Amino acid sequence: MRNAAFITAIVVFLGAGLAWIWWPDEPDEERPMGERIVKSDAEWRQVLTDKQFQVTRQAGTERAWTGEYAKCHQDGVYTCVCCGQPLFDSKTKFESGTGWPSFYEPAVDKNVVKKKEGILPWAPTEVLCSRCDAHLGHVFNDAPSQPTGLRYCINSAALKLVERGSETSEKE
Ligand code: FE
């Protein structure tokens, strides 16, 4: 009987440990509550196209080379298509050959949240807008020719390019 209790305790302990390890990461950035934008899916559908909704609110991925910014070289600031928060600067955009807009760093670090999709070393890291939780894409460390070595692989459908200086973080 003592053995059974001991084994049960071990199983419970290991189970709790595994649950703790596998529990999805919370975004690790501190985010002031007042700046958060939270909307229902129905509300998001009113302001987004189907493609934008699928990518940003359902973590979808547009097909390579189909996004409007894949080959874009225009100067400006890429803002969140959902909430208007500035995310990436065209000056950090580079040709990755992947078919998705690629940047080597965010325009403002705190505007972009990174979230590991699991504990395995090769698990991808999701990139989200810190203000409205829009799924933007993923970040990889496979760009050694870039200043940071990082490649933020972002869906065009999650972005809106605006003229430098006219970006706003006040869009509702
Ligand atoms: Fe946003």
Q: Which of 80, 83, 132, 153 is catalytic?
A: 153
Find the 167 Cα to ligand 1 centroid distance in Å: 13
Instruction: Specify the pLDDT at position 171.
Output: 46
Share of the chain above pLDDT 90, in %: 74
Of the pLDDT bands very low, low, confident and very high (cuts 50, 70, 90), residue 23 is low
Find the 56 Cα to ligand 1 centroid distance in Å: 9
Instruction: Specify the pLDDT at position 167.
Output: 79
C-alpha closest to that of 98 among 69, 121, 78 = 69
Q: Where are the domains of the chain?
A: 32-163
Find the 71 Cα to ligand 1 centroid distance in Å: 23
Of the pLDDT bands very low, low, confident and very high (cuts 50, 70, 90), residue 31 is low
Q: How many CB atoms lie within 10 A of CB 30?
A: 7
pTM of the entire predicted model: 0.79
Instruction: Specify the pLDDT at position 169.
Output: 56
C-alpha closest to that of 64 among 155, 133, 172 = 155
Digit-coded pLDDT (tens) for 133-149 = 999 999 999 999 999 99
Identify the residue with better confidence: 147 or 20: 147
153 given a catalytic annotation:
yes
Digit-coded pLDDT (tens) for 85-130 = 999 999 999 999 999 999 999 999 999 999 999 999 889 999 999 9
The 3 state secondary structure assigned to 41-103 is HHHHHHHCCHHHHHHHHHCCCCCCCCCCCCCCCCCCEEEECCCCCEEEEHHHEECCCCCCCEE
CATH topology of domain 32-163: 2.170.150
Find the 55 Cα to ligand 1 centroid distance in Å: 12
Find the 99 Cα to ligand 1 centroid distance in Å: 22
Of the CA atoms within 13 Å of residue 127, those in its CB half-sphere come to: 26
